[in-house]
Chain A
Amino acid sequence: MKNEKYTISIYSENNLGLLTRIATIFLKRHINIESLTVSGSEIENVSRFIIVVDITEELVKKVIGQLEKQVEVIKAYYHTNEECIYLQSALFKIKSNLLFEERQIQNIIKNSNAQIVTVSPEFFVIEKSGRKEEIDTLYEELASFGIMQFVRSGRISVTKDEMKISQILRKQLN
């Protein structure tokens, strides 16, 4: 069975310690977490984890089983890239003088649909949201001019199909 990128979505209670519990499930099986994002979800007091891994479908199914087994996990899903809409964000901090000295930079920003978030006499900050490859391209284009700081977020993603978490929660309490 081939490795593939899977986006794991976990809906859980917002409890201290759950991150460790979830991380150990991956650690135990030597699964590298390519990206991890924890945030609120569409339901109050329910957290959503988005975890990207590169493993076989057989293994991702087993991981989902172990995740759902945790008392505070409401539901876990896995999706292929085709089954979800996903992106990540990146921030580039660049010296301000380059904006004027290297005309090229303005074109790069425009063509990549990046946004200038702030400009100060010393530096300016560009924000780019999109697929990983788009950010990689922008990074490569800007790298030659010198990047003072670069950071990118983990993947965030929503699925094409419905998840019905509210229904699950209602059912559990009735």
Chain B
Amino acid sequence: MEIITESKQKVNNSKTVKISGAEAVVRCLLAEGVDLIYGYPGGAIMPVYDEFFKYKKELQHVLTRHEQGAIHAAQGYARVSNKVGVAIATSGPGATNLITGIADAQIDSTPVVCITGQVGSHLLGSDAFQETDIISISTPVTKWNCQITKASEIPEVLAKAFYIAKSGRPGPVLIDITKDAQFGEVDFVYSKCEKIRSYTPVPQMDPAKIEAAATMINQAKKPFIVWGQGLTIGKAEEEFKAFIEKAGIPAASTLLGLSALPSDHELHTGMVGMHGNYAPNKLTNECDVFIAIGMRFDDRVTGNLETYAKQAKIIHFEIDPAEVDKNVKTDIAVLGNVKDTLSAILPLIEKRDHKKWLKEFNDLYDIEYNEVIDAKIHKSSEGLTMAETIVGINKVTKGEAVIVSDVGQHQMVASRYSDFKQIRSKITSGGLGTMGFALPAAIGAKMGAPEREVVAIIGDGGFQMNIQELGTVLQTKAAVKIVVLNNQFLGMVRQWQELFFDGRYASTEMTNPNFVMIAQGYGIKARKVSERKDLTAAIEEMIASKESYFLEVMVEMEENVFPMIPTGSSVSDIRLK
């Protein structure tokens, strides 16, 4: 294979030394500042693991209980720290078990580098033991991938891998290394990659577009902003705050954008999307200028595109040119790094306040509060609700915890009812909707931000998809707090069955094991709550714990999440019940 060598690199003055390819892998990781990786050993990656043993002081390897756990942990680590997460696995099943997490990282723009072992190059294509064509398998779900068959290629390819994973719109990169390349020798020199001639990570900012956008925003009567994860990835929260405060524009978040702006900010109008808030969904179809910032108009955000913000002029701040006009036709596309584009537009923005317009949001919030929220969080009779549990956790953690949620009803509730004080406090599987994400991602998040409280909110279905990672909690002593909201159903699917399939509950009822005993079996303090009177004390005990803690909350079995935009409906047809 020909490896591109044109990339302009800064050459370190380090002396050349002959080392094995396997050691070179470790030295590359160290040179990239990696001190923690997640993985699972196996035949084709053993030479690298042997080096992990030698370098264990410099590089901590966390043994997960499944390769899917490793990749999700790397994602959680990356999302909380804004650094590149690293996962490593062997060939064949080890590599294919990473795929779900790689696809998740691709759709949610998470920088991860995956290293997989591969059979010896003389065996490639022979259907050897644990051989799988992971390059072809991973191609549609990676930002870039590459197979290394010679030790000498390792430093340059790994340098490229890290550069590609974290630059521009981040994403997953997979590097497959044959066993003979790990055993082979290389004259080791490492230079960080800074440029690749065929790759433009950040498109050039066009001052004319900035000016045009500013003019349009200054003239707007009812401007509305929806921001996404681009703000978090671009570390542009300060620029964003300055921009909306000067322009006085009401703003709403996508699922992945949550926590980029403190929840109590007066211009924060909630979350858009299928189970988002009433006001921002409804008023998407009332605004005159719609400003999308670092978001990609996912179908769960837009509902029916034919009736989505048709009355509005659309301005799209975006780093990835392929997202412009992909789903929603824009009037002005402001390409570039959002930190730069927001800084550039700020001086051109006239000070405004759209009090009357903002009041429309607040009035609709009152309707949502009275018809939905109040009943969910102030129940006095019947079973516990997911919402009151989330509110309870939020109160005890003072909104400072990192909330890692899985996928389903509890995810929507955790997103709707958590208040966030600081950025990078909400980690969830958004685009791919990967059940089983939260437990391993929470382990990674705790390791990426040990000083922060990390609470995983998981349903009883998703918990059992990667429940084996309790073993990783046991072994690493990662002090994650695990909350299972148990409704004994695959709740979101059940809700759809109730609403759209005439209540035919096909395979959504769960006969669950004794989760508390399982957690205790893994040496984790555990408690189960079924009654309202015990909830607050249990949450307080959990948060006070210095170690990991498992809390199972038995919630109402057939609770539905509202508001809701039924699939194919317009955002303004959002239902409150």
Residues of A in contact with B (beta carbons under 8 Å apart):
12-17, 20-21, 24, 28, 61-62, 65-66, 68-69, 71-74, 169, 172-173
Provide 29 A-B residue pairs closer than 8 Å at the C-beta atoms, listed in order of the A residue: A14-B2, A15-B1, A15-B2, A15-B4, A17-B145, A17-B146, A24-B139, A61-B325, A62-B322, A62-B325, A65-B321, A65-B323, A65-B324, A65-B326, A66-B322, A69-B321, A69-B322, A71-B198, A71-B199, A72-B4, A72-B198, A73-B198, A74-B198, A169-B197, A172-B195, A172-B198, A172-B199, A172-B200, A173-B195
Contacts of A71 in B (CB 8 A): 143-144, 164, 196, 198-199
On whether the beta carbons of B195 and A16 are closer than 8 Å, the reply is no
Q: How far is the CA of A65 from the CA of B296 in the complex (A)?
A: 14
Size band of the interface chain B makes with A: 20 to 34
Q: How far is the CA of A74 from the CA of B4 in the complex (A)?
A: 13
Residue of A nearest to B320 (CB): A69
User: Would you give the shortest CB distance from B169 to chain A, in whole angstroms?
Assistant: 8
Contacts of A20 in B (CB 8 A): 136, 139
Residue of B nearest to A64 (CB): B322
Contacts of B144 in A (CB 8 A): 71-72
Q: Is the contact region of chain A dominated by helix, strand, or loop, or is it mixed?
A: helix
Contacts of A28 in B (CB 8 A): 140
Residue of A nearest to B200 (CB): A172
Q: How far is the CA of A54 from the CA of B446 in the complex (A)?
A: 51
Question: Using an 8 Å CB-CB cutoff, how does the interface string of B312-349 with A read, 1 for contact, 0 for none?
Answer: 00000000111111100000000000000000000000
Is B372 an interface residue when CB atoms closer than 8 A count as contact? no
Is B6 an interface residue when CB atoms closer than 8 A count as contact? yes
Pick from A12, A17, A21, A24: contact of B198, CB below 8 A.
A12
Q: How far is the CA of A16 from the CA of B321 in the complex (A)?
A: 25
Q: Is the contact region of chain B dominated by helix, strand, or loop, or is it mixed?
A: loop
Contacts of A12 in B (CB 8 A): 198
Contacts of A17 in B (CB 8 A): 135-136, 139, 145-147
Q: How far is the CA of A172 from the CA of B8 in the complex (A)?
A: 10
Q: How far is the CA of A84 from the CA of B411 in the complex (A)?
A: 52
Most-contacted residue by chain B among A12, A71, A169 (CB, 10 A): A71
Contacts of B4 in A (CB 8 A): 13, 15, 72
Residue of B nearest to A69 (CB): B322
Q: How far is the CA of A14 from the CA of B6 in the complex (A)?
A: 12
A28-B140, A65-B326, A69-B321 are known; give 5 further A-B pairs, CB within 8 A.
Answer: A15-B4, A65-B324, A71-B144, A71-B198, A172-B197
Residue of B nearest to A28 (CB): B140
Residue of B nearest to A170 (CB): B197
User: Would you give the shortest CB distance from B449 to chain A, in whole angstroms?
Assistant: 30
Q: How far is the CA of A68 from the CA of B4 in the complex (A)?
A: 18
Q: How far is the CA of A144 from the CA of B145 in the complex (A)?
A: 51
User: Would you give the shortest CB distance from B95 to chain A, in whole angstroms?
Assistant: 15
On whether the beta carbons of B140 and A24 are closer than 8 Å, the reply is yes
Q: How far is the CA of A97 from the CA of B121 in the complex (A)?
A: 51
With A61-B325, A69-B320, A69-B322 already in contact, the answer to whether A74 and B2 are too (CB < 8 A) is: no
Residue of B nearest to A14 (CB): B2
On whether the beta carbons of B6 and A173 are closer than 8 Å, the reply is yes
Contacts of B146 in A (CB 8 A): 17
Closest CB pairs A-B (n = 8): A65-B322, A74-B198, A172-B197, A24-B140, A71-B144, A69-B322, A71-B199, A16-B1
